[in-house]
Amino acid sequence: FDRMAAVLTLWIAALTAVAAAQSLHDLPVCNVNTSAISVSGLSAGAFMAVQFHVAFSSSVMAAGVIAGGPYYCAQDEFTTALTECMTLPEGINIEALVAATERFASSSKIDATSNLARARVYLYSGSKDTVVNPGGMHKLQQYYTHYVTSGNIQTEFSIASQHGFPTVDEGIECTRLGEPFILKCNYNAALQILQNAYGPLQPAVDPIAANLQKFDQSQFGPGASLLPEGYVYVPTACQNRSTLCRLHVALHGCEQSTEFVQTQFVEETGYNGIAEANNIVIIYPQSAKDILKDNPNGCFDWWGYTGSDYAVQSGKQMAAIKAMVDHVTGKAHTL
């Protein structure tokens, strides 16, 4: 009887896996303006967004950063990530990070830093954030100021919010710390990020549930510590390839992937309604928790748990996300 039960359990698990795989869609190919690709993120996703922007600056024209810090802040050291980058930002040496950036660029590990001159950058830090010290975002502003044309950096550091993604009316109380790390602050960070990137936008409309789809991430990032499935929101007008659309990558924070908060980051941060009204495709990559790699909270890699090249174009997660972008835009990619 025990043997039959074990066989039955394995059979049910196999059927469940097949059903889950069949429910995944292929990531679509859309008619995307390749001059209108942007990225944003919260916390670990914010550090990753900065990495992605700097490393692929020839194709990523704007970045929105909520509670993050400068490029290559951790310098391949987990202890540095926890100390200088998150709690003791006075120890962040911007000159050293700029020098490292130039070193990577000169060896073609990232795009030329001259591309950053035309970038548009949005920076947000809640004054009550107890997880990522707001001083780190001031250091990030200093880093970007070294490269970005004056006037192209927008900041919001005055709102008394905790650590999380600020929205108008979704999530928990603005000054509270906890899951889903989405905050009800009467502030539309998604709109600010996208408008800073693209200019004035049409008001958000109700997102269409069928336009939010799961896609198979495994084909883009084998070994990249990503979940089997990511999410993509494809506005109605972007589905027939006759409309020229824009593309945004939104990166969740630690403990904010679907393993922790289901689809709350994907559905409650406010991006999808804006996307539907303004023909912006939104990719939501999903990072996986991995205790063996000292990443139990499912953070994107900004300190080196996937390899020492985590901050350059060849980094496993960096390459995977770029491959997703290239696929949606119809470009060939190599991993």
Assess whether 301 carries a catalytic annotation: no
- Measure the CA–CA gap between 85 and 244, rounded to whole angstroms: 39
What is residue 24's DSSP assignment? P
Strand 245-251 and strand 229-233: pairing?
unpaired
- Choice among 38, 43, 161, 225 that is catalytic: 43
* Annotation says 252 is catalytic: no
Exposure b/e, 299-321, CB count within 10 A at least 16 = b: bbbbbbbbeebbbbbebbbbbbb
Q: Which of 204, 171, 179, 180 is nearest to 275 (CA)?
A: 204
Write the CA distances from 292 to 252, 256, 299, integer angstroms.
Answer: 21, 19, 13
**Residue 161 annotated in active site:** no
Q: Out of 129, 161, 248, 301, which one is annotated catalytic? A: 129
Q: Can you spell out the DSSP letters for 231-288?
A: EEE--GGGSSS-S-EEEEEEE--TT-SHHHHTTHHHHHSSHHHHHHHHTEEEEE--BP
Among candidate residues 40, 53, 163, 248, the one labeled active-site is: 163
Strand partners for 166: 183
Query: Is the four-CA dihedral 77, 79, 82, 84 of positive or negative sign?
Result: negative
How far is Cα of residue 217 from the mean position of the Cα atoms in its chain? 14
How many Cα neighbours within 13 Å face the side chain of 186? 2
Burial class (CB in 10 A: 0-12, 13-18, 19+), 151: exposed
How far apart, in whole angstroms, are the C-alpha atoms of residue 108 and residue 332? 20
List, by residue number, the catalytic residues: 43, 129, 163
